[in-house]
Amino acid sequence: MAMLRTTNLTRRYGARLGVDRVNLAVDAGEVFGFLGPNGAGKTTTIRLLMGFLRPHAGQAEIGGLDCWRHSARLKRDVGYLPGDLRLYPWLTLTTATSIVSQTRGMNISARASELAERFELEPTLPVRKMSRGTRQKLGLVLAMAHRPRLLILDEPTSGLDPLMQSRLADLVREAAAAGAAVFFSSHTLSEVESLCDRVAIVRRGKVIVDESLDALRHRAPRVVELQYGDEHAASAAVLPDFLQVVERRGAVCRCELEGTTPPLVTWAYQQPLVDIRIGRPDLESVFHRLYHVGEEGT
Amino acid sequence: MRGLLQKTLRELWVSTLLIGLGLAGANMLLTFLIPKVQMQLGDVFERLPFAQTMMSALLGTEVGKELTARAMASVLWVHPIVLALVWTQAINLSTRVPAGEVDRGTIDFLLGLPVSRRLVYACEVVMLLATGVLVIAMGFAGHRAMAPVMPADMRPDLQSSLIIMANFYCLYLAVGGVGFLVSALCSHRGRAVAIVLALVLGSFLLNFAAQLWPPAQRVAFLGVLEYYRPALVLQSGEVPWSDMLVLLAIAAFALIAGGEVMARRSLCTT
């Protein structure tokens, strides 16, 4: 059974659509990337999952419980980091740990201290004196300290320096390895690519793709640079259908490869090439393409 | 619930203590000054007949040329400073959840914890009840500390004083209850405070106008101060059951309605 599931989840803001018939499922042990530009509906989806917003249609469930009706109960197993984290100015890690421990009915102080150490967080520094990144670290500690079965992180790396981003990535991987489901919302492709097993792309409130990263990589074109002996040879070259020219510059012809590499290798063997460079699958261009298709569809 | 109470207490203890001390200080000062004012009141009424009407308006009941010493003592509990302090406590506390939490953006963190909205609301209501007792008790203590300087015929007896305190507490609950209802409907604390403040000021002015302008008397029942008349309690010594029940009914209705609204509406940082 999926740890998190939404079925035709819909939420409007007056005449404006927040999310429209969103269907998602995240299993235990999976790191699920939820990708989209600002205003695409990522935070609205998360707020529906957390039971802050009531859906106008459809349903969201966590651990088999309805997110609106059983919001308090299901949040025992959920760790949540809001996208725009704001905390009480007087809060310190110590006071927060005490309040959250009492609220959750479990002592989280040992795990919170361990996480704070990994994030290099001072236990007695109040929020009013914290930088944005430090506040984010406190939010992450509080979201993870009770070892939740589901982690919902809304743009968790914002404000974090690269070192802390890497520590967060380690913690996310550890949580998934321990069996937790991770719902990782972001608008940055690279962090989703490095962390997630599967990704859904949301655009204007609609999920336009929901696939494993491996499947997306198979669909992703590779950039191929063909170097000929001279400019004349490069311009005279006739390319096969699976190579689309991006640009020709001097003796170099830059193309996108569609499909797998063996046909390219076979074809290249017969060409007057000096060199050939094959890049990694370019997910960026897949996402751009998907967005473009989505835009045409609306 | 303990965690939530700890958080609320942490945020409220300073303001509650300051308001309580302010009320105690104001009551000490008024208890000290009222006998001196009362001695000159007869002359003032002779020279300025309008002052007598103003005094009636303030006490919410008709006063004769010879204002009794006991009735005069009730000024202590209807003085605008005293009312303002108690209302400040009620409004400050009642507009924190959900309007205050939404406004400052902390509602996402608060509701991210495994607590129901009803529990969050209930904790705030418990704090309203508890801090109201504390603040009014501190005010009462301030009055009792200075009471020995009052002439014996003016000094309210303990029983009447406690009845007035109970009535005052009901008034505080009614204002707080309305504050919770308004807060449950708002996403901006400033707006919630402005609405509740407008309602209590309107009530104060209505009560005042009802003594000066007969048409206002017909709608005076709409104001909460119509159900809080310490002068009558001091004169009769009777418990104003009907007034207190009306105030408690307003409080109960508004608190329950506020809780229901909060439980059912969508809530998140705007």
Q: How confident is the model over A220-248, as a mean pLDDT? A: 90
- Confidence tier at B63 by pLDDT (50, 70, 90): low
**B52 pLDDT above the threshold of 80:** no
Q: Which of B266, B267, B270 to mutate to test the interface with A (most CBs of A within 10 A)?
A: B266
pLDDT at position A295, please? Answer: 58
- Length reported for chain B: 270
pLDDT at position A298, please? Answer: 43
Which residues of chain B does A104 touch, with a Cβ-Cβ cutoff of 8 Å?
A: 3, 113-114
Q: How confident is the model over B42-52, as a mean pLDDT? A: 75
Judged by CB atoms within 8 Å, which residues 118-147 of B form the interface with A? 119
CA distance B15 to chain A (A): 15
Which residues of chain A does B111 touch, with a Cβ-Cβ cutoff of 8 Å?
A: 50-52, 71
**A172 pLDDT above the threshold of 90:** yes
Domain segments of chain B: what residues?
Answer: 2-264
- Confidence tier at A259 by pLDDT (50, 70, 90): confident
Residues 6+ apart with CB under 8 A from B67: B38, B41, B45, B55
Q: How confident is the model over A219-237, as a mean pLDDT? A: 89
Top pLDDT among B131 and B156 is at: B131
C-alpha angle B132/B79/B216, rounded to 5°? 100
Percent of chain A with pLDDT over 90: 76
The secondary structure of chain A in percent helix, strand, coil, rounded to multiples of 5, reads 40, 30, 30
pLDDT at position A296, please? Answer: 52
Closest CA to A288 of A223, A222, A220: A220
Instruction: Say whether residue A69 is in contact with chain B using an 8 A CB cutoff.
Output: no
Instruction: Say whether residue B104 is in contact with chain A using an 8 A CB cutoff.
Output: yes
ipTM entry: 0.87
A252-257 β-sheet, strand order: A243-249, A252-257, A222-228, A273-281
Instruction: Say whether residue B107 is in contact with chain A using an 8 A CB cutoff.
Output: yes
Inter-chain contacts counted by CB atoms under 8 A, chains A and B: 82
- In the block, tokens 């150490």 appear at A117
pLDDT at position A77, please? Answer: 95
A57-62 β-sheet, strand order: A16-26, A4-13, A57-62, A65-66
pLDDT at position B67, please? Answer: 63
Q: What are phi and psi of A252, to 5 degrees?
A: -110, 135
Here the tokens at position A166 are 């890497």
- By Cβ distance, the residue of B108, B114, B116 closest to A52 is B108
Q: How confident is the model over A100-114, as a mean pLDDT? A: 96
Give me the residues paired with residue A281 across strands. Answer: A222
Q: How confident is the model over A55-75, as a mean pLDDT? A: 96
* CA B54/CA B50 separation, integer angstroms: 6
| pLDDT tens-digit readout, B84-126 | 999 999 999 999 999 999 999 999 999 999 999 999 999 999 9
The alpha helices in A124-161, defined as continuous H runs, are 132-144
pLDDT at position B79, please? Answer: 92
| pLDDT tens-digit readout, A261-279 | 899 999 999 898 999 999 8
Please tell me which residue of chain A has the smallest CA distance to B264: A54
The secondary structure of chain B in percent helix, strand, coil, rounded to multiples of 5, reads 85, 0, 15
- Length reported for chain A: 298
- Confidence tier at B270 by pLDDT (50, 70, 90): low
Which residues of chain B does A82 touch, with a Cβ-Cβ cutoff of 8 Å?
A: 108-109, 112, 269
- Confidence tier at A258 by pLDDT (50, 70, 90): confident
Top pLDDT among A96 and B151 is at: A96
- By Cβ distance, the residue of B104, B112, B116 closest to A50 is B112
Percent of chain B with pLDDT over 90: 71
**A68 pLDDT above the threshold of 50:** yes
Closest CA to A51 of B115, B255, B119, B7: B115
Strands A252-257, A222-228: pairing kind: antiparallel
**B236 pLDDT above the threshold of 60:** yes
The alpha helices in chain A, defined as continuous H runs, are 42-49, 71-74, 93-104, 109-119, 132-144, 162-177, 189-195, 213-219, 231-236, 262-269, 283-297
Residues 6+ apart with CB under 8 A from B138: B20, B21, B23, B24
pLDDT at position B73, please? Answer: 83
Q: How confident is the model over A171-194, as a mean pLDDT? A: 93
Question: Crossing angle for the helix pair A132-144 and A93-104, nearest 10 degrees?
Answer: 30
Q: How confident is the model over A127-152, as a mean pLDDT? A: 97
Residues 6+ apart with CB under 8 A from A273: A226, A227, A228
- Please tell me the least confidently modeled range out of A37-46, A73-82, B203-212: B203-212
Work out the end-to-end distance of chain A between its first and last CA atoms, rounded to an integer number of angstroms.
33
Q: How confident is the model over B254-269, as a mean pLDDT? A: 93
Q: How confident is the model over B231-251, as a mean pLDDT? A: 94
* CA B260/CA B108 separation, integer angstroms: 19
* CA B242/CA B226 separation, integer angstroms: 11
Which residues of chain A does B13 touch, with a Cβ-Cβ cutoff of 8 Å?
A: none
Closest CA to B270 of A2, A13, A42, A149: A13
pLDDT at position B248, please? Answer: 98
**A297 pLDDT above the threshold of 70:** no
Which residues of chain B does A72 touch, with a Cβ-Cβ cutoff of 8 Å?
A: 114-117, 119
**A106 pLDDT above the threshold of 80:** yes
Please tell me which residue of chain B has the smallest CA distance to A105: B3
* CA A54/CA A10 separation, integer angstroms: 9
**A164 pLDDT above the threshold of 70:** yes
Instruction: Say whether residue A36 is in contact with chain B using an 8 A CB cutoff.
Output: no
Q: How confident is the model over B236-265, as a mean pLDDT? A: 96
Q: Which of A10, A66, A86 to mutate to test the interface with B (most CBs of B within 10 A)?
A: A86
- Please tell me the least confidently modeled range out of A37-46, A249-258, A279-288, B82-91: A279-288
Which residues of chain B does A140 touch, with a Cβ-Cβ cutoff of 8 Å?
A: none
Q: Do A71 and B116 touch (CB under 8 A)?
A: yes
Which residues of chain B does A52 touch, with a Cβ-Cβ cutoff of 8 Å?
A: 107-108, 111, 266-268
* CA A143/CA B152 separation, integer angstroms: 63
Q: Which of B9, B12, B104, B113 to mutate to test the interface with A (most CBs of A within 10 A)?
A: B113
| pLDDT tens-digit readout, B124-150 | 999 999 999 999 999 999 999 999 998
pLDDT at position B91, please? Answer: 97
Mean pLDDT over each residue of chain B, to the nearest integer:
91
- Please tell me the least confidently modeled range out of A33-47, B38-52, B198-212: B38-52
Instruction: Say whether residue B13 is in contact with chain A using an 8 A CB cutoff.
Output: no
pLDDT at position B65, please? Answer: 57
Q: What is the pTM of this model?
A: 0.89
According to the per-residue pLDDT averaged within each range, which of A208-222, B105-119, B199-213 is highest?
A: B105-119
- By Cβ distance, the residue of B10, B108, B116 closest to A82 is B108
Instruction: Say whether residue B108 is in contact with chain A using an 8 A CB cutoff.
Output: yes
pLDDT at position B66, please? Answer: 56
Which CA distances in Å does B78 have to A106, A167, B74?
A: 48, 61, 7
